[in-house]
Structure 1
Amino acid sequence: MMDILSQRLTPSPDAFATAMGSETVLLQVKSGIYYGLDEVGTRIWTGLQAGLKPSEICEKIAGEFDIPVATIEADARAFLEELKAHEIIIAE
């Protein structure tokens, strides 16, 4: 199976986002599931909307926050797998 960080992911057409300051609230319409994203989750979401691969987003975040990229990647994998499982993001 392909690593989720190397996949091209996009927000589902059934997912809606609302920015609230540096955070974002997501709603998956079909299931009614809400997610609250913190600042880093919001940066990942924004990067996906811009068409970036998750691996590219992780590198940017690691550089901005001076955190090892492996740490960001581990957290991003878990986050993205959860969003994908709930059909908030889909693979292209």
Structure 2
Amino acid sequence: MSGSVALEQSYQQVEGNLVSDMNGEKVMLSIASGKYYNLGQVGGAIWELLQAPATLASVVDQLTNEYEIDRDTCESQVIRFIESLLQEGLVKAV
């Protein structure tokens, strides 16, 4: 884990992305970069939770309630996912 992402920090979607559902998975086109992303089912759920500012701790809470996953695994996977979204400029810390 890099030190850049913290569970107590709030993150939110960056505007300017077209998102739609495709067979239960979220797919997205970044208007700014022209890149296409398949967020998958769980990634799509995280994306939805970030419509409004949300802490990563609250995202992990919701995911562990909805899916059968232990908290430590969920935290590490959410952090990695958020790091990749930050790198791509799709979410921002707020």
Does TM-score exceed 0.5, indicating one fold? yes
Match of 2:17 in 1: 15
Can you list the C-alpha shifts for 1:9-66, whole angstroms capped at 9, x where unaligned?
1111132311224211122212111110111111101111143322111111112223
Would you say how many aligned residue pairs link Structure 1 and Structure 2?
92
Is 1:78 the equivalent of 2:80? yes
Higher helix proportion: 1
Task: Kindly indicate whether the alpha-carbon contact (under 8 Å) linking 1:4 and 1:80 is maintained by their aligned counterparts in 2.
Answer: no
Match of 1:62 among 64, 67, 75: 64
Matched to 1:29, the amino acid is: I
Task: Kindly indicate whether the alpha-carbon contact (under 8 Å) linking 1:15 and 1:26 is maintained by their aligned counterparts in 2.
Answer: yes
SS for the counterpart of 2:48 is: helix
Task: Kindly indicate whether the alpha-carbon contact (under 8 Å) linking 2:9 and 2:93 is maintained by their aligned counterparts in 1.
Answer: yes
Matched to 1:63, the amino acid is: N
C-alpha RMSD of matched pairs (Å): 1.7
* Mean Cα deviation higher: 20-29 or 79-88: 20-29
Task: Kindly indicate whether the alpha-carbon contact (under 8 Å) linking 1:25 and 1:37 is maintained by their aligned counterparts in 2.
Answer: yes
The offset of 1:2, in angstroms, is 5.5
> Which TM-score applies when normalising by structure 2?
0.83
Percent identity of equivalent pairs: 28
For structure 1, which runs of at least 5 residues remain unmatched after alignment?
A: none
Match of 1:90 in 2: 92
